[in-house]
């Protein structure tokens, strides 16, 4: 039992190193298998959508961030999306929360994590860091427009 626990604990840092190495060595598939799914959002992904007094204060920031994460793209696009989240939350008067959220998305949003909120979560696992093709960008724009149109009517 101790050996199994030790092996599990030893594997945890290795996963993090592999995720970081993926960026530096650009482990990118030649093409992405599968289709981009319809856009979905869970708000602020296991984080409050606002304060106790204003329950949805920064929810719009998280939805905008999810739109960027859903389609994925390059490492630089992810970095820009993460900083846009920080800026948005800071503009609603919560700079400390903004910094906390930035730390969380930087640590937990890599495309190699098998989570529902990873970079490129609209694609089958893993889409990695890579620029979307023009056709993929067009598909993403159409799916986002359909989402926005549906939610505008609600």
DSSP state of 109: -
H helix or E strand, kind and range, residue 58: none
Segment 78-97 shows an average pLDDT of: 97
**Rounded Cα–Cα distance for residues 31 and 47 (Å):** 33
The pLDDT of 69-79, averaged and rounded, is 97
Residue 55 and residue 25: Cα distance in Å, rounded?
41
The tokens 């495309």 sit on which residue? Answer: 111
What angle do the packed helices 75-91 and 95-108 form, to 10 degrees? 160
Place of tokens 């190495």: 21
Residue with more model confidence, 83 or 34: 83
Q: What is the DSSP letter of 73?
A: B
Q: Are 128 and 111 in contact (CB under 8 A)?
A: yes
Is 63's pLDDT higher than 90?
yes
pLDDT in tens, 99-133: 999 999 999 999 999 899 999 999 987 788 999 99
Classified as helix, coil or strand, 29 is coil
Question: How does the average pLDDT of the chain come out, rounded?
Answer: 84
Residue 48's pLDDT is what?
96
- Residue-level pLDDT at 27: 39
């Amino acid at each position: 039992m101790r050996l199994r626990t030790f092996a599990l604990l030893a594997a945890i840092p290795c996963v993090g190193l592999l995720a970081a190495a993926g960026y530096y060595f650009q482990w990118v598939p030649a093409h992405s298998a599968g289709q981009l799914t319809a856009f979905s959002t869970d708000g602020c992904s296991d984080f409050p959508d606002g304060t106790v007094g204003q329950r949805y204060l920064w929810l719009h920031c998280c939805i905008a961030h999810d739109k960027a994460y859903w389609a994925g793209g390059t490492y630089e696009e992810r970095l820009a999306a993460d900083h846009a989240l920080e800026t948005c939350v800071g503009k609603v008067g919560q700079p400390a929360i903004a910094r906390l959220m930035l730390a969380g998305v930087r640590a937990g949003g890599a495309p190699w994590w098998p989570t529902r909120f990873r970079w490129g979560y609209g694609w089958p696992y893993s889409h990695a860091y890579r620029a979307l093709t023009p056709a993929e960008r067009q598909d993403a724009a159409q799916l986002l427009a359909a989402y926005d149109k549906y939610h505008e009517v609600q």
